[in-house]
Amino acid sequence: MLKWLREPASETQITHGARLWLYIVATVIMVLLVAPTLIVVPMSFSDSQYLEFPPETWSTRWYEHYFTSPEWMSATVTSFQAAILTMLVATPIGILAAYGLHTSSLAYIRLVFVLLITPMMVPLILVAIGAFYVFVKVNIVHSLFGLVLAHSLLALPLVVIVTGSALKSYDMNLEMAARSLGAPRWKAFLTVTLPQIRFAVITAALLSFLTSFDEVVVAMFISGGDNATLTRNMFNALRDQIDPTIASISTIMVLVTSLLMVLSQIFGRAKGSG
């Protein structure tokens, strides 16, 4: 250990000992980044009304409350429906656009790219009130359809960026070869190009799902009634009091996210195209 402290740590020959402070600071920061979310997990199993850590008596009553509440269940179903549909809408639209942007050499194509990624630059609250205004006019406010449209808008930039960057590192000559052998363009794309960028496509789909599943601000304005989302109800509950049920829902959400993250690591890793 002491020897290690005196060993050079980088090209400048600084020793590990001389920058021990950096290691300590970085470790503390990394713990602080992860700990808050993880601490909610044991807290959700506390029997107490006031979330304690560590819990004195363990119980699953907050989970029971969540799973037996019709409102929470209906909101959960809505959130999953919206997330899955958003994934199914945003991913193909985004891939088409990324392919179009990549292959069309029209002038001003960069402007189209900027237009398509604006939804991730514009403050969410503006997207929310804008969509709210349109949806009231065409009477789709509080509908699943409207929610999916708005969430697809938010997911679109991620799909365009992720699949677009995969197309950039993909060799277009492969598709050319398929076409010169007689495959129509759409078939060449589906059978040659798409399998090659599949990791990026999977990553993009997972990101679309999460974008919708975690979204709060837009859902607050345009979802409601029977189609209120989980995050909308959580946010409303949070503003009033600290309801321990939220801890159990948070735990479940962290579980869903971790699962998706692991999936993306498994599928996205293989070729580094994610």
Partner 1 sequence: MAAVDMTGMNAEGLRRDGFLERLKLFGLCSPAILLVLVILVIPAGWLAYVSFLGADGQFSMENYARMINRKSYMRIFITTFEVSFMTTGICVLIGYPLAYFLSQLPARIANICMITVLLPFWTSLLVRTYAWLVLLQKQGLVNTFAIEMGLWDEPLKIVHNMTGTLIGMVHIMLPFLVLPLYASMKAVNRDYMKAASNLGANPVSAFWTIFFPLSTPGLFAGMLIVFVLCLGFYVTPAVLGGGKVIMVSMKIASNIELFVNWGAASALGVVLLALTIGALWITSRFVRLEQIVGGGH
Question: Interface residues for partner 1 in 184-213 (CB under 8 A)?
Answer: 203, 207, 210, 213
Residue at token pair 């579980």: 255
First to last CA, the chain: 39
Please say whether the beta carbons of 170 and 193 come within 8 A. Answer: yes
Q: Could you tell me which stretch among 57-65, 80-88, 191-199, 243-251 binds partner 1 (CB under 8 A)?
A: 243-251
State which of positions 112-131 bind partner 1 (CB under 8 A).
112-131
| Of residues 14-33, those binding partner 1 (CB under 8 A) | 14, 18, 22-23, 25-26, 29-33
Longest Cα–Cα distance of the chain, Å, equals 72
Q: Closest distance between partner 1 and the C-beta of residue 115, in Å?
A: 6
Residue 47 interacts with partner 1 (CB under 8 A)?
Answer: no
The candidate with the shortest Cα–Cα distance to 87, out of 254, 233, 197, 207, is 207
- Binding of partner 1 by 49 (CB under 8 A): no
From 118, 79, 122, select the one nearest 211 (Cα to Cα). Answer: 79
Q: In 40-161, at which residue ranges do the beta strands (DSSP E only) sit?
A: none
For the CB of residue 72, give the shortest distance to partner 1 in the complex, in Å.
14
> Which residue in 84, 183, 192, 260 binds partner 1 (CB under 8 A)?
260
Give the interface size with partner 1 as a residue count (CB under 8 A). Answer: 96
Q: Which of 139, 93, 133 is nearest to 116 (CA)?
A: 93
CA 46 to chain centre: 29
56 binds partner 1 (CB under 8 A): no
Which uninterrupted H or E stretch holds 114? helix 109-117
Question: Closer to partner 1 at the Cβ: 158 or 228?
Answer: 158
Which of 66, 86, 157, 163 is in the footprint of partner 1 by CB under 8 A? 157
φ, ψ for residue 8 (rounded to 5)? -70, 140
Q: Tell me the closest approach of the beta carbon of residue 80 to partner 1, in angstroms.
A: 14
Footprint on residues 57-86 left by partner 1 (CB under 8 A): none
